[in-house]
Chain A
């Protein structure tokens, strides 16, 4: 009995001491734990909110830009649009206007105003045309009656032109025909040069 009591006491004592210190430690941990979980939860929520807001803003931005080409300066930059329309219009009028006497000038102009594919195309046309122009005394006058800039960046442009072309043979009656051209132009050293011509 005594032994058991003793043991019990000892047990109780032992468990008492360990219980007391354990409880203190537990209280400390218990006090720290909700604080830390709370902070972690807040941080995680903050992170989610930040990512969601950022993502939402990016989606909203792409929706704002949707359906618009922000790099195309046609009409948004009125000055540049007017310049390219004027330059390309003048170029087209000059290279498709000639008389038997001014054919050489026209060809010189074309060398300055055309480049690449358009230059090759024009050379082929000119080679076919030049003998007939001299022989039949043909002259051609091209008037640009409408110009629309479809696409425009700092260095490239796509322009649609409506033309009236009047041709006349010596001694004949002049006849006027409609022509439409889609022209691609590139800017080199401050001047626009035509690189592609497509009849529409």
Chain B
């Protein structure tokens, strides 16, 4: 009984030592922290690019609010400026769009500065009010910036053919 207890104690020391070691390893792993930043930025890029390719034709106000929440800097300002104007047009048309990011990658990441560049392919289902839905395939490049509330899109543009 006492031997078993001592053995248990020794094992607990070993367990705690091991746990401490793995923690120290993870803590001092620069690659891990960079990988974490990378995955956070890429996830944000995927989510936000899908958001900016989506609009519920019957709830334009909510859609524009979501666009602003997904963006920062120049892009947010642009949405703010054109928001009300394009919202009117969108409301008249009543077109609903659903964007799905089919693949995405970061091409650049500066973890210290909090900036990244992403490319993404998007499938957009466009459904005009009372019309037939059609599917578009698009490709985008986006700049991301880290803000207090996570990574946001600072710019988003289609990568046009013939423009390197």
Which residues in A have some Cβ–Cβ distance to B below 8 Å? 43, 46-47, 50-51, 53-58, 60-61, 64-65, 67-70, 72, 74-77, 143, 145-150, 159-160, 162, 164, 176-178, 180, 182, 200
Contact = CB atoms under 8 A, between A and B. Distances in A.
Interface residues of B, number: 44
B130 interface: no
Main secondary structure of the interface of B (DSSP, over half): helix
B22 A61 contact: yes
B20 A57 contact: yes
B7 to A, nearest CB: 11
Interface in B103-128: 103-107, 109, 118-119, 121, 123
B12 A50 contact: yes
Given A50-B9, A76-B31, 6 more contacts: A54-B15, A68-B32, A68-B36, A70-B29, A74-B106, A147-B107
A57 B104 contact: no
Contact of A74 (B105, B159, B160): B105
A82 to B, nearest CB: 11
Interface of B: 5, 8-9, 12-13, 15-16, 18-20, 22-23, 26-27, 29, 31-32, 34-36, 38-40, 42-43, 102-107, 109, 118-119, 121, 123, 137, 139, 141, 159-162, 164
